[in-house]
């Protein structure tokens, strides 16, 4: 099976990492729209337009399935993308909610949602969690993490300061939804900020669980073949991929 993975930039590589670890697919075509990242500061119509344009990129490949490894796109553009696509398109929000529910049954648990401004404004996570009966939900936009990750910074003083800025008034939550695929690249730092106590929900692991449960996808013998493309600075993206995935790609 050949699949496409799409994100606004480098963040979706966190999803690719999980897919590679579980060896679910023969071939992965990754496309990061690095010329236009971040999407999370844009309005709904722009996010939909960019997402539909990204779909055109995948016309060059005969993919069987597309994973939108971007919460912002998943929050706004899935319907429009599905309307014009001949293959299935999976977002990351539904899998994230499913992963949380599988792991955290106590509906009084405190849940912190961290995501881009657009994803928080869409209220997708908040509404779905409320509908499932969770009562203690805090949602904050933490968009500055996106350029930090795009810059290849995964720890250190700059990140510490930004975490302080966003998290200083918060109690330690039971769970944190990393509602942006850039954030798993700094999940060690986020977890350690909260003394490694909260359960972290990560779009990559969530999607693996989802693919196994809903699509019956299972581990393959063969090694996955990964090809990385970007709308700008493809070398920069391949560098992050090398650092982060510990694997070579073309
Ligand atoms: N990685 C994207 C997400 O999951 C967003 C980053 C951005 O483009 O703002 O929401």
Q: In what order do the strands lie in the sheet with 199-202?
A: 136-141, 110-115, 175-178, 199-202
Task: Give the mean model confidence (pLDDT) for residues 56-82.
Answer: 97
pLDDT digits (tens, 9 = 90+) for 83-120: 999 999 999 999 999 999 999 999 999 999 999 999 99
Cα torsion 181, 143, 163, 95: sign: negative
Ranges in the chain annotated CATH 3.40.50.1860: 2-91+205-245, 93-203
Distance 104 CA to ligand 1 centre (A): 25
pTM higher than 0.85: yes
Q: How far apart are CA 48 and CA 102, in angstroms?
A: 30
Angle at 42 between CA 34 and CA 168, to 5 degrees: 95
β-pairing verdict for 199-202 and 225-230: unpaired
pLDDT of res. 152? 87
SS (H, E, C) the chain: CEEEEEECCCCCHHHHHHHHHCCCCCEEEEEECCCCCCCCCCCHHHHHHHHHHHHHHHCCCCCCEEEECCHHHHHHCHHHHHHHCCCEEECCHHHHHHHHHHHCCCCCCEEEEEECHHHHHHCHHHHHHHHCCCCEEEEEECCCHHHHHHCCCCCCHHHHHHHHHHHCCCCCCCEEEECCCCHHHHHHHHHHHCCCCCEEEEHHHHHHHHHHHHHCCCCCCCCCEEEEEECCCHHHHHHHHHHHHCCCCC
Ligand 1: residues with CB < 6 A are 7-9, 11, 37-40, 70-72, 116, 119, 146, 180-182
Active site residues: 70, 180
Contact in structure between 93 and 124 (CB atoms under 8 Å):
yes
Residue whose CA is closest, atom 7 of ligand 1? 38
Name the β-bridge partners of 30: 5, 228
Distance 12 CA to ligand 1 centre (A): 8
61-65, 137-141, 245-249: least confident range: 245-249
Name the β-bridge partners of 7: 32
Residue of 152, 122, 142 lying closest to 47 (CA atoms): 122
The answer to whether domain 93-203 has CATH 3.40.50.720 is no
Residue whose CA is closest, atom 2 of ligand 1? 70
**To the nearest whole number, what is the mean pLDDT of the chain?**
94
For residue 212, the tally of other CB atoms under 10 A from its CB is 14
State the fold for domain 2-91+205-245.
Answer: Rossmann fold (3.40.50)
243 — pLDDT class (breaks 50, 70, 90): confident
Nearest atom within ligand 1 for CA of residue 8: 8
pLDDT digits (tens, 9 = 90+) for 183-233: 999 999 999 999 999 999 999 999 999 999 998 888 876 677 999 999 999
Nearest atom within ligand 1 for CA of residue 181: 4
């Amino acid at each position: 099976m050949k699949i496409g993975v799409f994100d606004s930039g480098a963040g979706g590589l966190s999803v690719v990492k999980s897919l590679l670890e579980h060896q679910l697919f023969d071939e992965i075509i990754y496309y990061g729209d690095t010329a236009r990242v971040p999407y999370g500061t844009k309005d709904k119509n722009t996010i939909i337009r960019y997402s539909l344009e990204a779909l055109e990129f995948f016309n060059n490949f005969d993919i069987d399935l597309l994973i939108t490894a971007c919460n912002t796109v998943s929050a706004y553009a899935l319907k429009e993308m599905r309307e014009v696509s001949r293959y299935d398109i999976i977002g990351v929000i539904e899998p994230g909610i499913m992963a949380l529910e599988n792991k955290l049954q106590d509906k009084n648990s405190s849940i912190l949602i961290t995501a881009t401004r657009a994803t928080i404004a869409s209220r997708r996570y908040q509404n779905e969690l409320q509908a499932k009966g969770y009562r203690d939900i805090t949602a904050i936009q933490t968009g500055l993490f996106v350029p930090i990750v795009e810059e290849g910074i995964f720890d250190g003083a700059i990140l510490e300061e930004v975490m302080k800025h966003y998290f200083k008034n918060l109690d330690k939550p039971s769970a944190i939804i990393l509602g942006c695929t850039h954030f798993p690249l700094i999940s060690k730092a986020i977890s350690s900020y909260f003394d490694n106590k909260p359960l972290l929900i990560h779009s990559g692991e969530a999607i693996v669980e989802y693919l196994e449960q809903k699509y019956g996808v299972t581990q393959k013998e063969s090694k996955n073949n990964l090809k990385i493309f970007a709308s700008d600075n493809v070398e920069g993206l391949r560098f992050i991929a090398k650092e982060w995935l510990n694997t070579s790609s073309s």
